[in-house]
Amino acid sequence: MTAHPTALPTPAATELLVELTTTVNGDAVTASVPPRLHAADFLRQRLGLTGTHVGCEQGSCGMCTIVVDGEAVKSCLMLACQLDGRNVQTVESLAADDRLDPLQQAFKEAHALQCGFCTPGFLMTATALGYQGGCPSRAEIREEIAGVLCRCTGYENIVTAIENWFAGSARTATDEAPATGCPGGTQ
């Protein structure tokens, strides 16, 4: 960021490229990428999946959270080449045609978003939480989503949306079998 009086050596004019093969939202993807390209930039700039946002590039804010092999990860802390052989899910995978996914619908009905910049991060964090199974309490939901920051909502309605989703139609397995429903929920 800062122009220092002492400069580094001139980098090579042509960057090395590495090959990767991965699955993104169910589609097979093959690409050649610079080794320093991080996963969030790869998804946004190479695949046009701009729903994954970038907020700090140091793993603090959680805007760029995606699901890799069923777990929530911060895609700014992962290099694109590390996606090789993995199964990647982004926010674009949730809605089908004109229908919002039940998790998205729960967010909408609970007014769990305002500017919406952080929303994909929360949706993917909650998706991975659903894969873990179980019925988290409100306090547990708060802890689980604490890796994603929101400056608009004060979080209350995000917790409610996720709780309602668990109470209704959370997918609690990677085969997307609907859960029988968790207790709780306020809708």
C-alpha triplet 83, 178, 118: angle, nearest 5°: 50
Q: Which residue has the tokens 């139609």?
A: 169
Among residues 4 and 175, whose Cβ is nearest to another protein? 4
Among residues 12 and 28, whose Cβ is nearest to another protein? 12
Q: Give bridge partners of residue 32 from the DSSP assignment.
A: 19
Q: Least distance (Å) from another protein to the CB of residue 32?
A: 15
Contact between 137 and 152 (Cβ < 8 Å): no
Q: Least distance (Å) from another protein to the CB of residue 66?
A: 11
Q: Least distance (Å) from another protein to the CB of residue 8?
A: 5
Q: Least distance (Å) from another protein to the CB of residue 155?
A: 4
Among residues 21 and 143, whose Cβ is nearest to another protein? 143
* DSSP-assigned states of every residue in 58-94: SSSS-TTEEEETTEEEEGGGSBGGGGTT-EEE-GGGT
| Residues forming the site for another protein (CB under 8 A) | 1-5, 7-8, 10-11, 13-14, 34, 36, 44-45, 49-58, 60-61, 63, 90-92, 94-95, 98-100, 104-105, 107-109, 111, 113-120, 123, 141-143, 145-159
Identity of residue 12: A
Supply the Cα-derived Rg of the chain in whole angstroms: 18
Among residues 21 and 151, whose Cβ is nearest to another protein? 151
Among residues 22 and 90, whose Cβ is nearest to another protein? 90
Q: Least distance (Å) from another protein to the CB of residue 130?
A: 16
Token pair listed for 155? 């979080």
Contact between 108 and 150 (Cβ < 8 Å): no
Distance CA 52, CA 66 (A): 7
